[in-house]
Structure 1
């Protein structure tokens, strides 16, 4: 083990008092920490370089001017460059709203996990226990070897009463939240009894699905540095929120969203915590109010950070894509794109081409990100998203979920975007959609999304109309409409595709030979109240008259 396990990097003029206090706290917890105590200059370069090289974790005190270039040969700017070049594991203490220097912002974008600490007055010499715990947890994630975690002081226990003739009951200790009052009630639920983190893990493993969300959150607060507690707590919240609307509301009201995000930030290098955290946020995001809460509390940032840090971990990528899929509704499409979400999803799909879960959730995420956002459509195309979707559909032709969301993604990417229509056709998108429809003839969802994709790919593009017809698209549409006569969505979208194709004069003869006019009249009769069915069938019948 190196003489100094942790190296503290700082601007001397901005964070010396805080750094000295943090070093003292880490030293007291058995984590030898290096802090250069003289002003930056040539004389300290060798010692600093050696300490960075030997340490296991760098703690960066991220003040406003951190990373500033000075006249001396060594400064926080040079330290930062060396830390990044050497790919040293680091823990960012965010001590400002925004870094002054662009290069610092480049290395530490908003998607990087950080621990905020902005002390005032006497707080400068008193680093919070949760900060020290988080650094120790990160050190353990990086090396597998941690240090002692400071436990909250226990209140003296009153002797329990003994019934006549019976043995005295054994005394149990309440595991109290560090931020809670002395009351053992949290949201009306008694604090969990037990000893330490191992007891908490066992309880979560055995009873997590049936525990009140407040109990789960309390355990997460009691053992913030235990990756296992955080992992199994996130899993319990994930399981409870799956297909259970009331549990989603209960979890949010109990502070679960804050607890999950905090766990993901504190254990950013632990793949298990990241996977279960993303999964929990995904299931909680099935509730619209929870989506707003997750986004406002930094949930989008931690999901994207998890995907980027654990790019080779398929479990993280599946759950991360799923979370972004659900969070990409309404107003958060732009935020996800700006924070790097499109890059993260496309990268996941390219790296994990054989993983059906990644491909399914990735297509779903891109479908929602492209919806009504021309800027996102362009970004997805430029970053290789169209290629990724088509590759997913071709590689997983037997998976109806991949085909359903893949067709949906190509549909949204083609809406009102002429460049994407051309790109989709040239990259094999028409073939992929028709193959999906032919392979999953009984799946109404695949047929609906397939029709929607073909409809928009054909719109205002005669070459694509001809390509769809020549590749068997008309036959696939007619077959689906005959199979799904009782599905209004299939009938509506099918008539839409045929109406667009009928605008091309060279295709009308074939359409007439397939007797699509009869299909149109049947759809119009079966769905008299559907305005879009009426619109498409009227256009189709007019073209074929």
Structure 2
């Protein structure tokens, strides 16, 4: 422990950027200490904090930390991923220790994955293939922490992107519930909502998992995110792309998910906005075009009524492509009561 404290004191007192030999030695010593004491929560906590600092550029500079690609490459090479994932099992002591370790561990993994996509398999396979389970477990244990939920959702999103095996793995360890609880518990935190929507979108490509998401309130969570953050363009894009997948009934297009009135209104409000941009208008129209193929949704949209502003927005979307023109036709038909 004293040795690790000495390493920590040295590294936090200077900037190791560009000092590869010192950086390599620091990482190697930290990982070795953690590997030698995998069940010592205090050592693992300090080690994860050390690795989290190393994974960002400018250890003592002011301003938000930036992922250090070079350092993250060394972390992968020197088995830091295995050490960090293993450390997530050592948090059986004080609650404060558990929180700090989990927070730093997920941030390290997120930084590594952001800079090196090839680290995906290392994270999944670490500690006898328990990486995903431990990430989700950390989210569920610390559901009150917005930063842990944000990092957890980013990791799920990234690890499961175009990977059906990882999607199934997340589902098996209650990952969908973790994402939805994150959205419900941190509805005012845009970063959590944005990354949770991204995670839901990725997970929804598995039809069975999509059903689980819908049945557990995933659609309403996306709608709530749109309502709570009506000016956050990226968040709205993530929510709309998630909804495009979630509300569609692949086998029966005429029976999409029944949307709430609030959801219909949120999508219409996006179309009426002059500041959110054409791309988001197209996404919102896409969602509406799927929804209005169901009678209940079409009636809700008809209640909104046509206005000059809405017609202008729809015309702009229609002009962007032949597919979007057909989508707009369906929306206008619903707005006019099916005529």
TM-score interval w.r.t. the shorter chain? 0.7 to 0.9
Residue matched to 1:275: 48
Q: For the structure 1 residues 308 and 457, does the alpha-carbon distance in structure 2 shift closer, same or farther, using more than 3 Å as the test?
A: same
CA apart distance, 1:290: 4.6
Q: How large is the Cα RMSD of the aligned pairs?
A: 2.9
Structure 2 residue 78 is the aligned partner of structure 1 residue 297: yes
Residue 367 (structure 1) shift = 1.3
- Is the Cα contact below 8 Å between 1:484 and 1:491 reproduced in 2? no
Q: 1:389 deviation in Å?
A: 0.8
Counterpart of 1:79 in structure 2 is: none
1:370 maps onto 2:160 in alignment = yes
CA shift digits 1:390-432 (9 cap, x unpaired): 1111111122221111111111111x21111100011111121
State whether residues 517 and 541 of structure 1, in contact with CA within 8 Å, keep that contact through their aligned partners in structure 2. no
- Are the counterparts in 2 of residues 336 and 342 from structure 1 also a CA contact under 8 Å? yes
Q: Of the two, which has the highest radius of gyration? A: 1
Q: Which one of 313, 316, 337 corresponds to residue 522 of structure 1?
A: 316
**Correspondences of 1:346-425 after superposition (within 5 Å):** 346-414=136-204, 416-425=205-214
* SS of structure 2 residue aligned to 1:348: helix
**Which structure 1 segments of 5+ residues have no match?**
1-140, 142-224, 242-246, 529-533
1:524 deviates by 5.5
Query: 2:336 aligns to what?
Result: none
Match of 2:263 in 1: 473
Q: CA deviation at 1:342?
A: 0.8
**Separation (CA, whole Å) in 2 of partners of 1:541 and 1:463:** 16
**Structure 1 partner of 2:235:** 446
Inter-partner Cα distance in structure 1 for 2:292 and 2:73:
44
TM-aligned CA deviation for residue 351 of structure 1: 0.9
Q: Name the SS of the counterpart of 1:465 in structure 2.
A: coil
* 2:244 aligned residue: 455
Name the CA distance, whole Å, in 1 between partners of 2:278 and 2:23: 40
Residue in structure 1 matched with residue 100 of structure 2 by the alignment: 315
Distance 1:494 1:373 in 2: 26
C-alpha distance 485-272 of structure 1, shift in aligned 2 (>3 A): same
1:191 matched residue in structure 2: none
Deviations 1:110-135 (A, max 9, x none): xxxxxxxxxxxxxxxxxxxxxxxxxx
Could you list the per-position Cα deviations for residues 508-527 of structure 1 after superposition, in whole angstroms to 9, with x for gaps in the alignment?
454455546543323456xx
What are the equivalent positions in structure 2 for 1:124-273 lying under 5 Å apart? Answer: 141=1, 226-235=3-12, 247=17, 250-251=18-19, 253-267=20-34, 268=37, 269=40, 270-273=43-46
Per the alignment, do residues 308 and 282 of structure 1 end up closer, same or farther by CA in structure 2, a change over 3 Å counting?
Answer: farther
Offset of residue 314 of structure 1: 1.0
Q: Compared with structure 1, are the counterparts of its residues 274 and 487 closer, same or farther at alpha carbon in structure 2 (3 Å cutoff)?
A: farther
**Deviation (angstroms), 1:372:** 1.2
Distance 2:290 2:149 in 1: 30
Residue 359 of structure 1: how far off its partner (Å): 1.3
* Candidates 194, 201, 222, aligned match of 1:433: 222
Distance 2:285 2:316 in 1: 11
Question: TM-score, structure 1 length as denominator?
Answer: 0.50
Match of 2:62 in 1: none
1:255 deviates by 4.4
CA distance in 1, matches of 2:182, 2:266: 21
Q: 2-side partners of 1:464 and 1:396: how far apart?
A: 31
**Structure-1 residue corresponding to 2:109:** 324
Task: Report the CA distance between 1:506 and its aligned residue.
Answer: 5.3
TM-score by length of 2: 0.78
Shift of the alpha carbon at 1:471? 5.3
| Partner-residue secondary structure (3-state), 2:88 | helix
Q: Does the C-alpha gap of structure 1 residues 458 and 352 become closer, same or farther in structure 2, counting only changes over 3 Å? A: same
Which one of the candidate residues 326, 332, 338 is aligned to 2:125?
Answer: 338
2:146–2:186 Cα contact (<8 Å) kept = yes
Native 8 Å contact 2:171 2:209 kept in 1? yes
Change (3 A) 1:381 1:482: same
How many Å apart are 1:298 and its aligned residue?
A: 1.1
Work out the CA distance in 2 between the residues paired with 1:422 and 1:478.
25
SS at match of 2:197: helix
Alignment pair present for 1:485 and 2:275: yes
Relative to structure 1, the CA distance from residue 266 to residue 535 in structure 2 (aligned partners, 3 Å threshold; closer, same or farther) is: farther
CA distance in 2, matches of 1:265, 1:520: 60
Q: How does 1:41-56 map to 2 (within 5 A)?
A: none
Structure showing greater relative contact order (alpha-carbon pairs closer than 8 Å, 6 or more residues apart): 2
Aligned counterparts of 2:33 and 2:255: Cα–Cα separation in 1: 51
Once residues 107 and 194 of structure 2 are traced to their aligned partners in structure 1, the CA distance between those partners, rounded to angstroms, is: 15
